[in-house]
Amino acid sequence: MDTLKLSAPAKINLTLFVTGRRADGYHQLDMLMVKLALADGVELRRRRAGIVVHCPDSDLPEDGGNLVHRAAAAALGLGGVDGGVEITLRKNVPIAAGLGGGSSDAAAVLSGVLALYGSRVGGEALHAAAVGLGADVPFFLFPGRAARARGIGDVLDEVALGGSFWVVLVNPGFAVSTRNVYANFALTSASNPYIVARKQESVLSGIPQFSVDLHNDLESVTCREYPELLRIKDAFRGQGAFASLMSGSGPTVFGLFRNRQEAEASRREMAASHPIVILTTIA
């Protein structure tokens, strides 16, 4: 094939526990992540040589500073491809928002370039390449719609969700640095000195019935700096959401609703006071 069009879904974290820190500085995590219907569009086109990136809907870099450029280079090398690729990235997922948009784009390009050229690469080699691009990239290569991710996000186990729900995303319009959030996260605190020892088996067991209290350790950092996020969570509860949480390192906050009517009413109300409000579902 000469061209290939792909969808790169966003994600939310229903749980995010920081369980420790490795010697190399990476944090150990235990998360439940779910893919959304909200997605970026990725179009790949063969070219004789080189990598060309177009980002017509954003001010993302179009050189090696863009993760999709690095993903394409990794795929071409991994597949032993004698050729190049032109990438057009159409952004629908807010950038630096805790929704995994960049990682999802990279996963789509990594697997898509290999498919474009018909290159067959073993699962372990593809997984290693994904890990090298970023901690969330392996999740977006994972075939299931939800997974428990451990390690640095690279150890994945599928989780079956026992239903569906509507998701309203509220992004306050500013970006948050994931690196800075993790750098300012304390593994212990005066109020809970055993944070690294917490487990979430009971949390995960409740997900199919949606009877679980969702949790994100990183809220303690991001919401301290941006208290507006706590007000968004309170607003969701007042609008009938059965759960609300910050996704990833933020700043996007989501509310979960059992039916579209409640979710649409929440979307309209949130849109009156916030710049980016999106109604979607799980993938």
Of 11, 35, 91, 233, the active-site residue reads 11
CA distances from 228 to 72, 170, 231 (A): 38, 11, 5
The beta strands (E) that lie in the chain are given as 3-21, 27-47, 51-54, 84-90, 146-151, 155-158, 166-171, 215-216, 243-246, 253-257, 276-281
C-alpha to C-alpha distance for 235 and 278, rounded to whole angstroms: 15
C-alpha to C-alpha distance for 133 and 141, rounded to whole angstroms: 12
Cβ atoms within 10 A of the Cβ of 35, count? Answer: 22
Q: Are strands 27-47 and 51-54 parallel, antiparallel or unpaired?
A: unpaired
C-alpha to C-alpha distance for 118 and 126, rounded to whole angstroms: 14
The answer to whether residue 233 is catalytic is no
In three-state secondary structure terms, 77 is helix
- Residue 54, Cα to own-chain centre: how many angstroms? 22
In three-state secondary structure terms, 39 is strand
Of 30, 40, 136, 217, the active-site residue reads 136
- DSSP annotation of 145 reads S
65 and 53 in contact (C-beta within 8 Å)?
no
In three-state secondary structure terms, 9 is strand
The answer to whether residue 63 is catalytic is no
**Nearest CA-CA partner of 172 in 231, 114, 88:** 231
The residues that are catalytic are: 11, 136
